[in-house]
Homo-oligomer: A and B are copies of this chain.
Amino acid sequence: MTDVSQSPAELYRDLHRHPELAFQETRTAGIAAERLRSAGYDVVTGIGRTGVVGVLHNGDGPTVLLRADMDALPVREDTGLDYASEVDGVMHACGHDVHVACLVGAADRLVETRQEWSGTVVALFQPAEEGGGGAQAMIDDGLYEKVPVPDVVLGQHVGPAPAGAVGVHPGSAFAGANSLDVTLVGRGGHGSRPETTIDPVVLAAAVVLRLQTIVAREVAPQETAVVTVGRLHAGTTNNVIPDSATLGLTVRAFTEEVRVRILDAIERIVRAEAAASGAPAPLIEHVESFPVLVNDVPGAERIEAAFRAAFGDAAVLDPGQVSGSEDVGLLATAAGAPLVYWILGGADTPSYLAAAAAGTLDRDVPSNHSPHFAPVIEPTLTRGVEALVTAARAWLAPAR
């Protein structure tokens, strides 16, 4: 049974111990629903499979949607924390546990302070942000027929900035992303008789190295672009040449032109490398596509001003464009509402500053998706709750 008296920090530790993969977030969703109900929200569950939304009507005024994503990643945790994942091979390596805990905390806080503001709060817990599909699944499942259409969509992502800091980048802020699965078809055989086979391992290696030339040679150096092969699998036994190899790619870009150029180049390279091996045509599946996340410019300015007023200038930074991707923008687009999505610092500040001074940030501060990713609990959780409340209040009407 859910302990509704858990503080955000306690809830965070609990969630971190019990990570759940995309669309399997039943325990997390259950906790979120119970906490919302207990706080007085009207709750709808099972939107987009495991999505949960709580609605708090509090007089006239704007409707503000606060969003947290719930899913974990198939990463084997290697943090050594006493509250490390208890599920082998699954980890909250992207900080969605922080997002959930902060939104639960903010939902409570908004109830506690309801006499100060007027309007409607929609607290949305989304499944399956990683691997995509979660936001779209909620929309496709009739989200905005089940809960009020918001006037603004707000949310935050924890990342490797100093804990206590927040930052919002107006305009294009998170990259558009595409995910592709590639199957390279060879012809298997005995490991000692390569001449009877078409070796898909060698083909896969040639593909991976050639893909590096897209960012290095085909995209203008001034453009932001990423082509990553995050997954490569072939064969089961040292002395058997397998029949095929499978690759999983992610692509990032900030403009449609660059995105198209990259996807065309991937297709061209994969097909040509298969031809170079004398192999059958490869299979290229586009499994997911995230749009560029665009922060509404006046909206971002409004939020930044609110953060500066609440936390002081020193706590507000410009995170610039980040090459990560997010599907939160779909919730705003479907509502016809502006989006403001900010970065919440989670890194231990002294370590961060030392690494920054030494120029070793990339090495010493584990980033999202790393098996070592470990936001410090405080001031991260406290600031994350405050940021959601501050941002919501920047939109909600003052109580009359």
Question: A interface vs B, CB < 8 Å?
Answer: 73-75, 78, 89, 93-94, 130-131, 175, 177, 179-181, 187-197, 199, 201-202, 204-210, 212-222, 224-243, 245, 248-250, 252, 257, 265, 268-269, 271-273, 275-278, 287, 320-325, 359, 361-363, 366-371
Contact = CB atoms under 8 A, between A and B. Distances in A.
Contacts of A227: 216
A135 B277 CA distance: 37
Contact of A233 (B189, B212, B232): B232
Given A196-B367, A222-B224, A202 B217 contact: yes
A28 to B, nearest CB: 19
A77 to B, nearest CB: 11
A231 B235 contact: yes
Contact of A245 (B74, B213, B232, B245): B232
A191 B221 contact: no
Given A190-B324, A192-B177, A202-B213, A250 B243 contact: no
A201 B224 contact: no
A221 B216 CA distance: 10
A72 to B, nearest CB: 11
Nearest to A207: B205
B192 A202 contact: no
Given A210-B276, A212-B216, A278-B268, A323 B193 contact: yes
A277 B197 CA distance: 26
Contacts of A179: 238-239
A226 B192 contact: yes
A208 B210 contact: no
A268 to B, nearest CB: 6
